[in-house]
Amino acid sequence: MLPIAVLKYVLKSNVMLTRVIKNSLGNKSGKEENLIFSSLPVPLVQISFEGQVLSYNQSFQALLGFSSETLASLNFFNNPYRIVDSSNQLVFDDKKEQDVTIESYWRKAESGFLYIKEHYRPIKGVGYCVYLENETEKRRLRRSLEITEEKFRFVIDQVPVGIYRIITTGEIVFANQYLAQLLGYKSGEELQGKMARELFRYPPEYDQLLHSAIKIKQPTFRHEFVHMTDDGRELWLEDTAHIFYDTSDEMLFYDGIIQNITEKKRIENDIKRLLTAFTQISEAIVITDTRGYIIYSNPALERMTGYTASELYGKNMSIFRSGVHSKDFYRNMWTNILHGVNWEGTIINKRKGGDLYTEYMVITPVKNDAGQILNFVAVKRDMSEVLKLEDKLRHSQKLQAIGTLAGGIAHDFNNILMGMQIYTEVLLKRLMPQSFEHEIVGKIYESQNRGKELIQQILSFSRPGSEEKAPLTIHTIVKETLKLIKNTFPTTITFKESIEDCGQILGNPTHIHQIVMNLCTNAHDAMQGHGTLTIELKRKNQLSGPYRDIHSSHEWICLTVKDTGCGIDEKIRNRIFDPFFTTKQVGEGTGLGLSIVQGIVKDYGGKIFFDSKVGEGTTFYVYLPAR
C-alpha cells in the first residue's frame, strides 16, 4: 500500500485530480485505500532507490502497455524502453534525495513513443514514489503549433509587402523580413522594440490622421507618405492598418501592411506628365481602339474640329470624313495600319460646323509585347495656315517676278518715250499753233505724257521703297488730296470727312497722295459716279480686323475709305491686290492701283485690309505706324 505521503504528493503534483482523489479516499481502511490507488486515473509507481519496481497502479500499466511479468522484472532506471538525455540525468543525480521532476521518453510495449514528465518523491527507507505525467499530446500539439507558426512566419516573410504590429506605446512588436529589408535591416527581429515614428519617419500629418481615426473608432487607416532611408533613397510607402480595440473601445494595437509604391508613383507621375503634354501640345492627338472608335482626344483636337472630348468619346473616326476622298483612299489607310505599318499623309476632313480643312496626320499602331495591335494613335496638324502661307509665298514670288519684269520693261519703254517726246516738242515748236498738224502732234504729246505716268506707276510698284522718307504731318496731305479729288469727282458723289490731327509718320508725301488717290478712285468706279464716299483719319493704339490679336509697342494712324458701291465678289477677293488685275473694261484701268497701295503700306511697316458686302459697299483700312 502506498503511504499517505504519496497521496499528498500526488495531490500537490496534479491539482486537477485533487477533488477526485479526496472524494475517493474519505475515511477508508488500508485495504480499501490500496484498492482506490490501484484504480486511480494517475499513473503511479513505487520503486527502490536502485530502480526496482515495487508496486504500481493500473494507470501506470495501461500507460506503458507492459504485462505484469515484464513490470515484475523491470528496472525503472535501466531498461530498453526508457530514454533520458544527459541534461535531465544530471538534474536527477543532483537532487536524488529531494522532490525532483525530469523529462524522459518511453517506448510503449506495442509501438510508439511517449513524452513523459517523471515526478519523484523520496520515501525514506523505501525508495521513490513516481508520478508519470503523459506529455505526449501536449508535445504533439505544441510541435504542431510550432510548425504552424514556422509556416506562418515563412509565408509572412515571403509576402512582398511589409507586415507589422504596433502597440499603444508606438513600439513595434512584430515585423516581417520584407519590411526589414525594405528599410535597410537584415531581419524583422531587428525592428522589434523600435519606435514606429522614429523608424518610419512619418510626415507631420500622419499622427493627426491616425489619432482622428482612433477617436471615431475607425477600424482601418490608410495613408501614403515619403520615407527617406539611411542610404539616401526616397521611397513612397502606402500604410494600411487595421486597428483593434478592447471592450471599452480603447485601442489595443494595430496591424499594418506597408507597400512600396515608389514604382507605382513613378508610373503615375509619368502618366500625369504624358497627359499634361498631350493636353498642352499644339498638335491634335486621338487614341482609338482597333475598330477606329475614339477613346481619348486632347484639347487641340477640340480647337481644330470644334468637337469636345465628351462628344467624340465612343464615336468612330469617320465622323471627320469630308466626302472628298474615295473609298480606296481609306481602304489603303486601314490596310497599312492593321498590318502594323505607320500611315502618314495629307487628308481633307470636316469640322463640326461642316466646313472642310486640310490636315497632316500620322497614325501609329500601338502593340503589346506579343506584337498584337491594341490601339491606334493619330497625331494631327491643321495645315490650313501653312497652306495659306505657302499661297502667300507663291504669290509674293509671283509679284516679285512681275515687279522685276515690269520694272525692266518700264525702264526700256521710258527711254523710247523720252526720244519720242523730244522730237514731238521740236515739231510743236515748228508747226503753226492753229494748224491741223499742230493739233495732231499735240495729241501725240499728251499720249506720251500718259505713257510716262503709267511708267511711273509701274516703277513705283516694282521699287516701292526707292524714294526717301521723312517726318510728315499726314492729315494735311490727306486734306490736300481730298480737295483735289472733290474738284475731279462729279457732284453726284457725297463726301463725308472726319480728318483728325493724328501727328506725324515717317513717309513720303507722294506715297500718301497715291494711297488716298487710288483708294478714292476705286471707290468712285465701284459707285459708278453715284453714292457716298466716307474718309476718316484717326490715331489708334490697337489694330483691328484680322490683325486685332497683334500687339505692338507703338500707336497707329488709321485711314478709312468707305464707299456705297457694288462691293467685291467673294470669288475675286484674294486677287484684288495682284498687279494688273482689274475688273474694268479694256482701256479703262491698268490694275496697278491697289498693288501700288499695298506695296507702299508694306514698305512703311503698315497693314491694309478690307470689309465688303456685295450690293452694299466696301471699306478699306490702312494702318500706318505713328511716330
CA distance 417 to 321: 60
Q: Is residue 275 part of a domain?
A: no
**Does one domain contain both 369 and 286?**
yes
Q: Is residue 276 part of a domain?
A: no
**Does one domain contain both 99 and 166?**
no
**Does one domain contain both 41 and 165?**
no
**Does one domain contain both 604 and 538?**
yes
Q: What is the DSSP letter of 202?
A: -
Q: Which residue has the cell 499623309?
A: 345
**What pLDDT was estimated at residue 586?**
46
What is the tens place of the pLDDT at every residue in 142-197? 888 878 777 877 777 878 899 999 998 999 999 998 999 888 888 888 999 999 98
**Does one domain contain both 11 and 150?**
no
**Does one domain contain both 504 and 595?**
yes
**Does one domain contain both 485 and 609?**
yes
**What pLDDT was estimated at residue 1?**
47
State residue 68 phi and psi, 5-degree precision. Answer: -65, -35
**What pLDDT was estimated at residue 20?**
45
What is the tens place of the pLDDT at every residue in 464-478? 555 567 888 888 889
- Domain containing 375: what range? 281-382
Q: What is the DSSP letter of 585?
A: P
**What pLDDT was estimated at residue 438?**
81
pTM for the predicted model, two decimal places: 0.43
**What pLDDT was estimated at residue 464?**
52
- Name 457's Cβ contacts closer than 8 Å, sequence gap at least 6: 590, 592, 596
Q: What's the 3-state SS for 168-216?
A: CCCEEEEECHHHHHHCCCCCHHHHCCCEHHHHHCCCHHHHHHHHHHHHC
Query: Which of 425, 445, 462 is at the close of a domain?
Result: 462
Q: Is the pLDDT of residue 319 over 90?
A: yes
**Does one domain contain both 362 and 399?**
no
**What pLDDT was estimated at residue 16?**
42
Helix (H) or strand (E) holding 71: helix 68-72
Query: Which of 342, 361, 382 is at the close of a domain?
Result: 382
From the list 86, 83, 87, 54, the residue with the least C-alpha distance to 71 is 54
CATH number, domain with residue 332: 3.30.450.20
**Does one domain contain both 621 and 497?**
yes
Q: How many domains does the chain have?
A: 5
The fraction of the chain above a pLDDT of 70, given in percent, is: 84
pLDDT-derived band at 548, boundaries 50, 70, 90: low
CATH number, domain with residue 620: 3.30.565.10
